[in-house]
Amino acid sequence: MIAIENEAPPKLIVDPPLPEPLAQGRVFIQYRTENLRVLPVFGKGALEVSPRIGHIHITVDDAPWHFVDASGETIILVGLEPGAHKVLIELADPMHKVITSETVEFTLPDPKKSS
């Protein structure tokens, strides 16, 4: 087992929303991590696990709250109004301390204008 301090730092890679669902008003954002596994394990003891584990925080349009996801699956957002949006995706450790983040910006089409 490698000591935590000798491991490469975690990295978050976020792709732009998939174009086909976006054109239909649904947002599918794929992401992946390096040097950290996304798992639903929380608490101080999980900080000592190697390789590292963590989860993501997702904030939509600068909302004062975020939601947590530990599935490692594609982020899916529905029900957003047409127009410009941004999604902040934060990679966090098991104690919710943010390690790194990426922001994705996109525009949802107005279905009334495309008819």
Q: CATH number, domain at 12?
A: 2.60.40
Residue 64 lies in a domain: yes
Q: How confident is the model at residue 115 (pLDDT cuts 50, 70, 90)?
A: low
Residue 74 lies in a domain: yes
Higher pLDDT, 13 or 6: 13
Residue 41 lies in a domain: yes
Dihedral angle at the C-alpha atoms of 95, 101, 8, 53, nearest 10 degrees? 30
Residue 58 lies in a domain: yes
Residue 114 lies in a domain: no
Residue 40 lies in a domain: yes
Q: How confident is the model at residue 1 (pLDDT cuts 50, 70, 90)?
A: very low
Higher pLDDT, 6 or 84: 84
Residue 115 lies in a domain: no
The count of structural domains within the chain is 1
Q: How confident is the model at residue 114 (pLDDT cuts 50, 70, 90)?
A: low
Q: Tens of pLDDT along 79-110?
A: 999 999 999 999 999 999 999 999 999 999 98
Q: Tens of pLDDT along 40-79?
A: 999 998 888 888 999 999 999 999 999 999 999 999 999 9
pLDDT at position 49: 83
Q: Model-level pTM greater than 0.85?
A: yes
Domain membership of residue 62 as a residue range: 4-108
